[in-house]
């Protein structure tokens, strides 16, 4: 069994593969204060909830945007199953032709998402990942990674509004019935949900204009499923895009 782990700023996503079949997914909270022992217990318990034994893990690959947590999780895996995880970073083969200014700066999560999209969808391809930050990556017609955009995530924006103003409350992420809100909550939901959807549409349109041809658009990340329902562009939702990309990268290196 292969355990793929994607460590984000907010959540850690676990994906357990039997060959190329994703059998189990689970989520943990990202906590830089947790020790390897604590992460080992959390991972073991999460897998046990799905009837899987951590000791049966044969291989592991990790992508992370939080280096300190990656170290702790890597040590936790070694404690659980005596396996040294492959940490996605410079020197690991991805098969990507990376055309940004400094390829070493490409985030592990963006690389994994791009590999997953390149394997699954037609290019050119636009990849949206909505988590703590909202990232958009672009693959050209030859599958090369051109670059993309980074913006604040939806929950980050909601938190900033609630904590940075005196009169605006914390709200749930839901779309109002009308773009023109009639009360504070509706106005905030319109600005956040519909505003984010409009931003995505605008960026997608501009990217397609720069590419000079139509592109496949795919979205992943915990918040994207709700937002893309309000986009005018045709966007495919793939919850496990990064996990699939990690599996493919592991296979390329073994």
Strand pairing category for 2-7 and 59-64: parallel
**Residue that the structure tokens 């994207």 belong to:** 224
Q: Which of 37, 45, 59, 109 is catalytic?
A: 109
- Does 109 qualify as catalytic in the annotation? yes
Instruction: Report the C-alpha gap between 132 and 155 in whole angstroms.
Output: 7
Instruction: Report the C-alpha gap between 233 and 254 in whole angstroms.
Output: 38
The residues annotated with a catalytic role in the active site are 109
């Amino acid at each position: 069994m292969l355990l793929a782990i994607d460590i984000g700023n907010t959540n850690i996503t676990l994906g357990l593969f039997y060959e190329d079949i994703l059998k189990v997914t689970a989520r943990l909270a990202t906590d830089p204060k947790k020790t390897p022992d604590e992460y080992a217990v959390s991972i073991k318990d999460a897998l046990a909830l799905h009837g899987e034994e951590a000791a049966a893990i044969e291989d592991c690959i990790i992508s992370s945007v939080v280096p300190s947590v990656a170290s702790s999780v890597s040590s936790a895996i070694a404690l659980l199953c005596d396996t040294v995880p492959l940490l996605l970073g410079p020197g690991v083969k991805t098969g990507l032709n990376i055309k940004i200014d400094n390829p070493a700066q490409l985030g592990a999560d963006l690389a994994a998402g791009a590999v997953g999209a390149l394997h699954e969808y037609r290019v050119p391809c636009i990849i949206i990942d909505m988590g703590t930050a909202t990232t958009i990556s672009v693959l050209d017609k030859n599958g090369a990674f051109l670059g993309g955009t980074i913006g604040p995530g939806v929950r980050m924006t909601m938190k900033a509004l609630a904590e940075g103003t005196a009169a605006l409350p914390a709200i749930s992420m839901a779309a109002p019935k009308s773009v023109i809100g009639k009360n504070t909550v509706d106005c905030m939901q319109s600005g956040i949900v519909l505003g984010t959807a409009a931003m995505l549409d605008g960026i997608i349109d501009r990217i397609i204009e720069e590419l000079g041809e139509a592109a496949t658009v795919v979205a992943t990340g915990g918040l994207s499923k709700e937002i893309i329902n309000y986009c005018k562009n045709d966007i495919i939702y793939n919850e496990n895009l990064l996990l699939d990309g990690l599996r493919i990268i592991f296979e390329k290196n073994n």
